[in-house]
Amino acid sequence: MAGWYAVPMRRAIGIAVHTGRGACVVVGGSLADPEILANEVVELLEKEERFCFHAAADMQPAAAEKWVERVRQKALARARREILRLTALSVSACAIVAKEGKPGRMADILASHPRIHTAEGFFYRDVFRDASPVPVHIVPPASLDVTKVGKLASPPWGRDQKLAALAAWSIIGK
């Protein structure tokens, strides 16, 4: 019929970040009318490298900087491959469930165990952000209410997947 054009549905990927991995969910539609196109956990690093700042704590700051950068490059390469594959599903935006902030200087990070944990969170957030071929929005976890999401996909479908999906729906249309 002349004059009628299909409007492409916007799709987004949501990523809930953990040490060494991300729960990745590609969504379309909305929470009221959900479409789940992909749901998987992307592992970025093996066990011995996953806790990269913990390992760096036993090194001198200069060696720690080199170690973390080497591990970052490895994680980034893996993230790029996996995110590129997932965004090929006509994804136009990425939402990463994470806190805002910067890790700080290596010497300060390594001086405090809580800072090591914080730095690892920022590390993986930034790896996924830098790997994304589409615009990225950081969505604070406190802004999302997982009780609004029921069972929408086959396993894995837990709290991380619900957060990732909610974050993705929150940016569709932005």
Residue 121 lies in a domain: yes
Residue 5 lies in a domain: no
Q: Which of 74, 89, 110 is nearest to 9 (CA)?
A: 89
Pairing of strands 11-18, 21-29: antiparallel
Residue 94 lies in a domain: yes
Residue 164 lies in a domain: yes
Calpha distance 36→52 (Å, rounded): 32
pLDDT at 173: 67
Range of the domain at 37: 11-171
pLDDT at 54: 92
Domain count along the chain: 1
Residue 6 lies in a domain: no
Residue 29 lies in a domain: yes
Phi, then psi, of 31 in degrees rounded to 5: -60, -35
174 residues of the chain, pLDDT tens digit each: 444 444 455 899 999 999 999 999 999 998 888 999 999 999 999 888 999 999 999 999 899 999 999 999 999 999 999 999 999 999 999 999 999 999 889 999 999 999 999 999 999 999 999 999 999 999 999 999 999 988 888 888 999 999 999 999 999 966
- The reported pTM is 0.90
Instruction: Give the CATH number of the domain where residue 53 resides.
Output: 3.30.420
Residue 3 lies in a domain: no
pLDDT at 7: 44
Token code pair at residue 125:
């957030």
Residue 2 lies in a domain: no
